[in-house]
Structure 1
Amino acid sequence: MSTSNSKPSITAIVAATQSNGIGLDGGLPWKLPGEMKYFARVTTGEEPSSDLDQQNIVIMGRKTWESIPSKFRPLKNRKNLIISNKGIDVKESINTKSFNSIESTFEFLSNSNTNLNSSNKIFLIGGSQLYKTFLITKPPLINRILLTRIISEFKCDSFLEDFKSHKSLKNNLPIWKKSNHLELENWLGFKIDEENEEKGVKYKYEMWTLNEESE
């Protein structure tokens, strides 16, 4: 696929089991309030703004949009962009827009009238097909992955692309490298426990970035 030359910097944020399971029956297989608070804190920013020009952006597919309870969508204090090549019934507003392709989404993001600035962060939040497309495109359409690794196993019917196995065609080096926890905290702008447990479910927060040596 082709995209605009001014490709935006996009961070994928996702929770996945050790076998890369991310969903079941259109929703999450687990209920982890602390992890959901982390997702909200990261995607809205430390100081959520009512000023649209200062808000972060979340990009998602149709199924992810529809999996959000209607009373919670659009996700507040964030600009919601929904991609669906099959069409979707979205009530567009100042913070909710739908697109029929990744290309048209990127065109919107690179348009000067969109009023993006250096304080805006852009997050890809699902689902599995969008994650896969953004990850397997060469070069990847995302620059960073915030991964909540669920240690306990759950039954899943949708899975995250196994990005850790991706190698550079140039030198066969891994395309992605794992950051240390301090690097994750520095990027987030706040302290967070690396390993966590809720309701007997253990998980840990990770960050992966593009490996410059593989380029």
Structure 2
Amino acid sequence: MSSSSTLTAKPSITAIVAATQSNGIGLNGGLPWKLPGEMKYFARVTTGESPSTDPTQQNTVIMGRKTWESIPPKFRPLKNRRNLVISSKGVDVSTAPNTSSHPSIPSALSSLPTSPSPSRTFLIGGSQLYTTCITSTPPMVDRILLTRILEPAYECDAFLEDFTSHTSQDGKEVWKKASHAELEGWLGFKVDEENEEKGTRYRFEMWVLDQ
């Protein structure tokens, strides 16, 4: 592969998100639920099983400004991960290690290493970025890790695009749900498919482009 084709190769991006059955993902700038077990899953997946001590080899999380600001300062930036913040107006991340601000998604992606690396890139919110990346043609993400909140029906004011119903111009479904075994194979660890925590039932799913 030539260096020019390496530079223009489409990066593999995984969106990771928790959403209710009506696709609600947030309320008042935060999460409507508090699920420590689900958050541990998020951290384990986005950090990786054996995060490198070399920041350039660590997994990357991409987020919008509002998502960045919704993270409690003591947990910001997300440790053992490269943090990329998208903001057209800019956001001051000068004091945050391994963190950079970018005016657009293409700008953020251009900052990723071009050499082969075992690291992964995750899109972690918010709703506008999810919509942009999932509804583009072709989608900018090629995998969606969805924690489907089964019950109760939480009140939300931010929503995820209903990607499961997307079809191409020729009527084919854009996304297909992978099996749980395929999810575990991609994760590299075992995880219960359905879970209950603090009265909330949820299911771990993986959706991939139907190619």
Q: Same fold (TM over 0.5)?
A: yes
Are the structure 2 counterparts of residues 33 and 44 from structure 1 closer, same or farther at C-alpha, using a change threshold of 3 Å? Answer: same
Deviation at 1:5, TM superposition (A): 3.4
Q: C-alpha separation between the residues in 1 aligned to 2:96 and 2:42?
A: 23
Q: 1:196 and 2:195 equivalent?
A: yes
Please report the TM-score for the alignment, with normalisation by the length of structure 2.
0.93
Deviation at 1:86, TM superposition (A): 2.1
Query: What letter matches 1:167 in structure 2?
Result: T
Deviation at 1:117, TM superposition (A): 3.2
Q: Could you tell me which runs of 5 or more consecutive residues in structure 1 were left unpaired when the two chains were aligned.
A: none
Asked if structure 2 preserves the Cα contact closer than 8 Å seen for 1:148 and 1:204, the reply is yes
Are the structure 2 counterparts of residues 92 and 176 from structure 1 closer, same or farther at C-alpha, using a change threshold of 3 Å? Answer: farther
Q: C-alpha separation between the residues in 2 aligned to 1:8 and 1:14?
A: 19
Asked if structure 1 preserves the Cα contact closer than 8 Å seen for 2:76 and 2:96, the reply is no
Q: Identity, % of aligned pairs?
A: 66
> Residues 65-84 of structure 1 correspond to what in structure 2 (within 5 A)?
65-84=68-87
Deviation at 1:62, TM superposition (A): 0.2
Task: Please report the RMSD computed on the Cα atoms of aligned residues, expressed in angstroms.
Answer: 1.3
Number of residue-to-residue matches in the alignment: 204
Q: C-alpha separation between the residues in 2 aligned to 1:14 and 1:203?
A: 12
Deviation at 1:91, TM superposition (A): 1.9
Q: 1:178 and 2:177 equivalent?
A: yes
**Partner residue in 2 for 1:158:** 158
Task: Determine helix, strand or coil for the equivalent of 2:111.
Answer: helix
Asked if structure 1 preserves the Cα contact closer than 8 Å seen for 2:52 and 2:58, the reply is yes
Q: 1:30 and 2:52 equivalent?
A: no
Counterpart among 100, 104, 107 of residue 107 in structure 2:
104
Query: What letter matches 2:155 in structure 1?
Result: K
Task: Determine helix, strand or coil for the equivalent of 1:202.
Answer: strand
Task: Determine helix, strand or coil for the equivalent of 1:133.
Answer: helix
Are the structure 2 counterparts of residues 41 and 116 from structure 1 closer, same or farther at C-alpha, using a change threshold of 3 Å? Answer: farther
Could you list the structure 1 runs, at least 4 aligned residues long, displaced by more than 4 angstroms after superposition: none
Q: Could you tell me which runs of 5 or more consecutive residues in structure 2 were left unpaired when the two chains were aligned.
A: 1-6
1:61-83 Cα offsets, whole Å, 9 max, x none, are: 00000000001000000000000
Query: What letter matches 2:126 in structure 1?
Result: G
